[in-house]
Amino acid sequence: MKTEYYNRFTRNYKLVIAALGGTITIAPPMRVQFQADKSIYGGLNKIQIQLENLTERKRQALVKDAEESKRIPFQLSVGTKIPLN
């Protein structure tokens, strides 16, 4: 696809996920969808992130054991001035 598709709103993003064996970085042209719900009552905020077209190796690195914590540490940066390197 053309670069214009990914920058049509002049926004960049970078998602860094702590996974088995290191970190996984997702940035354009990979497609990411997310929805965040922010609590005004001091509780935990919730976010749902959908990743498309991950390689088999990256998908396997994100699979968690049933006995492990259900939380996966990550950092999602979205905006117009996000450095991608």
Residues 6+ apart with CB under 8 A from 53: 30, 31
**pLDDT the model gives residue 71:** 78
**pLDDT tens, residue by residue, 4-39:** 444 556 678 889 999 877 899 988 888 888 898 888
Domain boundaries, the chain: 3-79
Residues 6+ apart with CB under 8 A from 9: none
pTM over 0.85: no
Residue carrying the six token digits 């290191």: 22
